[in-house]
Amino acid sequence: MGVMEGPKQGATVSQKLGNLGVVTTSLDAAINWARTGAMWPLLFGLACCAIEMMATQAGNYDLSRFGMELNRASPRQSDLLIVAGRVTRKMSPVVRQLYDQMADPKWVISMGDCASCGGVYNNYAVVQGVDEIIPVDVYVAGCPPRPEQLMHGILTLHEKVKNDNWSDWA
């Protein structure tokens, strides 16, 4: 058994990387790859849609395949707000504050009919669509949406983010 030799001090890049070589890409693609690869959602559920959101994150559907296994319990550390459930008028300032506390870049998924347009709750107490409170990137229909639907919404958002230009956020 011989001793494996590591790269020497002052070795060239190709020596360090071995057979991997060098990959060139655009800054946009690299940034968007990083953003879609670890888009952490906020730990935030409002109603029954949150149950389905938890099912999406649990083992059977395994949201961590898309780099989203970690729900941050703080808006300062999260990139994605999944509005899971109906937003009441009384709750709307809280939702808005959570959105305002999130650091850029940030995205919003409106999950389910209630968050998207009020759903069956066409009454005085429920906001008729969370887009009256915060801007929404992707709407997911369903009452509640199945985990597949939520994942499709998330992947749709990923497609949107991949087409982003980083300078738009600067």
Partner 1 sequence: MVNIAPAADPVEKAKERFGDDILHVKTFAGETTLVVSPENVPDVLRFLKSAAGLTYNFLSDISAVDYYPNDYGDHYDGEESDFRPERFGVAYHLYSMLYNRRLRLKTYAMEEDPVVPSVIDLWVGADWLEREIADMMGVRFEGHPDPRRLLMPDDWDGHPHRRDYPLGYETIQFSFNADEIAEHKPFAEE
What ranges in the chain are assigned the alpha helix state H?
13-17, 27-37, 48-57, 92-101, 112-117, 147-162, 166-169
Q: How many CB atoms lie within 10 A of CB 99?
A: 18
The reply to whether 117 sits near partner 1 by the rule CB under 8 A is: yes
Q: How far is the CB of 80 from partner 1 (least distance, A)?
A: 16
**Which residue type does 111 have?**
M
Closest CA to 144 of 88, 62, 83, 85: 85
- Binding status of residue 115 toward partner 1 by CB under 8 A: no
- Comparison of 65 and 124: residue with beta carbon closer to partner 1: 124
> Cβ closer to partner 1: 111 or 151?
111
The tokens 């970690």 sit on which residue?
70
The one-letter amino acid code at 80 reads: L
Q: Give 54: exposed, middle or buried? Use CB within 10 Å, 0-12, 13-18, 19+.
A: middle
Which one of 128, 137, 152, 164 is in contact with partner 1 (CB under 8 A)?
A: 128
Q: How far is the CB of 72 from partner 1 (least distance, A)?
A: 21
Residues near 7 by beta carbon (within 8 Å), at least 6 away in sequence: 15, 16
Q: CB of residue 134 vs partner 1: minimum separation in angstroms?
A: 5
Judged by CB under 8 A, the residue of 30, 103, 125, 143 near partner 1 is 125
Residues 74-93 as x/- pattern, contact with partner 1 by CB under 8 A: ---------------xx---
Q: What is the DSSP letter of 103?
A: P
Residue choice 45, 112, 118, 144 for contact with partner 1 (CB under 8 A)? 118
Interface ranges with partner 1 (CB under 8 A): 89-90, 96, 117-118, 122-125, 128-129, 131-135
